[in-house]
Amino acid sequence: MTNSEEATILRVKEGVRRKSRGNVSSLICYPDINAGCPMADMVAAERLRRRKEEIPTATVVCYIDSSAEVKSESDVCCTSANVVKVIESLDTREILFVPDQYLGHYISAKTDKKMVLWPGFCPTHIKIHPHIKILVIGGEV
């Protein structure tokens, strides 16, 4: 993490502390500066460059949780909320989607584009099964 990114996190943390107005019941979580995303780590820019050479006509679409270096090798970046609209808006038949093969599989069921899926996945989300109810503050999902 760069000094700039660390400073941004610390500014956000300070803003949360101030908004709590010293309320002792407020919980302030300090981020782990060294934390990462295992799914994002499943695609390296060099490997992506080599894969692009193998399928040069494909448009590379990456999920927002990808590294900045992978994003720089991609044609477009998307979120899970806009991914289908983004894919449908592209004037290309073949899509190389990185890094989440499961989100890519979902997209392939929603579009007629040829999806080439990177073999990455979220280790946390893969453990969630449809029969599990997730409790959140304020109710169930």
**pLDDT higher for 18 or 52?**
52
Contacting residues for 66 by C-beta, under 8 A, at least 6 apart: 40, 43, 74, 77, 98, 99
Residues paired with 136 in a beta bridge: 139
At 90 the pLDDT is 97
Given strand 59-63, what is the order of strands in its sheet? Answer: 76-78, 59-63, 94-98, 114-117
In angstroms, the CA 42 to CA 35 distance is 15
* Count of domains forming the chain: 2
Asked whether residue 4 is domain-assigned, the answer is: yes
Check whether residue 14 and residue 74 sit in a common domain. Answer: no
Is residue 137 included in any domain, yes or no?
Answer: no
Q: Is the domain of 16 the same as that of 66?
A: no
Q: Has residue 140 got a pLDDT over 50?
A: no
Q: How confident is the model at residue 81 (pLDDT cuts 50, 70, 90)?
A: very high
Statement to judge: residues 105 and 45 lie in one domain: yes
Which pLDDT does position 17 carry in this prediction?
Answer: 61
What's the pLDDT score for residue 139? 47
- Same domain, residue pair 81 and 103: yes
Q: Which domain holds residue 73?
A: 40-126
